[in-house]
Amino acid sequence: MHLVDDDGSLEVNSRKNSRRATISQSLRNMKAAEVSSTIKENAVVVDIVEGRGRVTGLLHIVSEDAYAFATVTIFMFDIMGNMATELRTGSKSLRAIMGQLRSKGVGVEGENQKETLRVLCYDTTSWVSDAFQPAVKAFNADPENSFQMMVDFTTERGRLGVNMIAQRAAGFDRVDTKAARAYGMTVARVPAYSPYAVAEMAIALLMAVNRKTPKASSRVKMANFSLDAGLLGVDIHGKTVGVMGTGKIGQILCNIILGFGAKLICYDVFQNEEVKKAGGVYVTKDGIFAQSDILFFMMPLLPATRHTLNMDVLPKLKKGMMLINTSRGGLVDTTVLLQGLRTGVISGVGMDVYENEQEYFFQDWSAKSIQDPDLTALLGEPGVVMTAHQAFFTKEAVNKITQTTMENLRDFKLGKREFDHPNNCIPKDN
């Protein structure tokens, strides 16, 4: 089988040998009659670029052991660049069309004839493909499943014929639910994966901020075994610890905090009876700001919670308090946080999320210049311990994310659409 690659070269995979050749070589190898009949029977117009340099890309589809190639009909010779682009587009479309043919059991001998759900996995990093590939394999091997899944991993954007968004996260503040509804798309999420993972990470951040473990560890690795005031922390035991948002994660966090022997105060729009039974005391919003030596943000990002830490709140905080935020960056006005750190109102902050993280998190920026002055300022502050949205990242949570996502896809395929989907996250009044 021959496939046009992204770089325009032709990949040749026959059963007996494997080699690469240029398109022109391969076309030359074809008999004229074969070329002509392939074009007549199998040509598919993949793209037409209208306008000054009109370009048409044709794909010629194959059966096993035959040739597949893309041709471009070009009407203006001064746009060779477009042609190269078109070939690249063609090669991607070719793979997609080949995949579709396979998924319908067309033209490929001995292939599983089960119907296939095609899934495009966006914005993927290696942990995503590492976790999903075995899960997809297991799903496809399970005779109980009446269809199979084919998952492509991509970082490209666009609707591309997508009818469902299967969020791998609980929060869906980054989904344009109005647009999704207008397109009749189903949007499902993973409502809970491991509340323990996030609660435990919040504690890890607290201990890192309080006991300066990142700094201490890097000093020891440089053979500096001295102690100085820069490493001095406080006992959590006996401190007043505030938790804003006592839902699934917040409740687990409350139990851990009580284990330290701290005084637990809470704020939520709904009081959690379990938290109260365990020893948490609900106070007013101003009360939690004024009394907390340590304050955890555990509520979702909503219009009502956006910039919970703001200029009005800063003077209400207990001087020298520590703030821990594993929920969403938008809960904190970064300018106010920086001011709090510089004036000593906030002695330290543990943050797994950052207000403008989209541009940076989940990518390696170590060799590039960061253009966001607030982010640069935070990274330079000694009281800041920042991680890049990894609070969820435990084996247990990843397994749960993978499993629930597969179930969400299955339910969609079995007819649970839009509001009927069990993990739908488009509000009814959207």
- Residues catalogued as catalytic: 328, 357, 389
Measured from the CB atom, is 90 or 195 closer to ligand NAD?
195
Measured from the CB atom, is 100 or 310 closer to ligand NAD?
310
* CA gyration radius, the chain: 28
From the list 101-109, 117-125, 267-275, 407-415, the region that binds ligand NAD by CB under 6 A is: 267-275
Among 86, 200, 333, 352, binds ligand NAD (CB under 6 A): 352
Q: At what angle do helices 248-259 and 195-211 cross, to 10 degrees?
A: 50
Measured from the CB atom, is 67 or 354 closer to ligand NAD?
354
Min separation Cβ 352 and ligand NAD, Å:
5
Q: Under the criterion CB under 6 A, does residue 248 sit at the interface with ligand NAD?
A: yes
Q: Is 255 exposed, middle or buried (0-12, 13-18, 19+ CB in 10 A)?
A: middle
Q: Under the criterion CB under 6 A, does residue 304 sit at the interface with ligand NAD?
A: yes
Measured from the CB atom, is 242 or 383 closer to ligand NAD?
242
User: Could you report how far apart the first and last alpha carbons of the chain are, in Å?
Assistant: 48
Tally: H helices and E strands in the chain: 13, 17
Among 204, 266, 299, 385, binds ligand NAD (CB under 6 A): 299
Q: Under the criterion CB under 6 A, does residue 250 sit at the interface with ligand NAD?
A: yes
Identify the H or E element spanning 177.
helix 177-182
Q: Under the criterion CB under 6 A, does residue 174 sit at the interface with ligand NAD?
A: no
Q: Under the criterion CB under 6 A, does residue 287 sit at the interface with ligand NAD?
A: no
Measured from the CB atom, is 136 or 253 closer to ligand NAD?
253
Which residue in this structure is represented by tokens 């189903």? 186
Query: Which among 21, 24, 69 is positioned nearest to 43, based on CA atoms?
Result: 69
Cα angle value 158/163/169 (rounded, 5°): 80
Across 56-75, b (16+ Cβ under 10 Å) vs e yields bbbbbbbeeeebbbbbbebe
Provide the mask over 206-245, with x wherever binding to ligand NAD is found by CB under 6 A and - wherever it is not. Answer: --------------------------------------xx
Q: Is the CB of residue 27 less than 8 Å from the CB of residue 53?
A: no
Measured from the CB atom, is 49 or 384 closer to ligand NAD?
384
> What six digits make up the tokens of 188?
């499902």
Q: Under the criterion CB under 6 A, does residue 268 sit at the interface with ligand NAD?
A: yes
Q: Under the criterion CB under 6 A, does residue 392 sit at the interface with ligand NAD?
A: yes
Q: Under the criterion CB under 6 A, does residue 195 sit at the interface with ligand NAD?
A: yes
Q: Is 243 exposed, middle or buried (0-12, 13-18, 19+ CB in 10 A)?
A: buried
Kindly list the residues in this chain that would bind ligand NAD in the complex (CB under 6 A): 170-171, 192, 195, 198, 244-250, 267-270, 298-302, 304-305, 326-328, 352-353, 389, 391-392
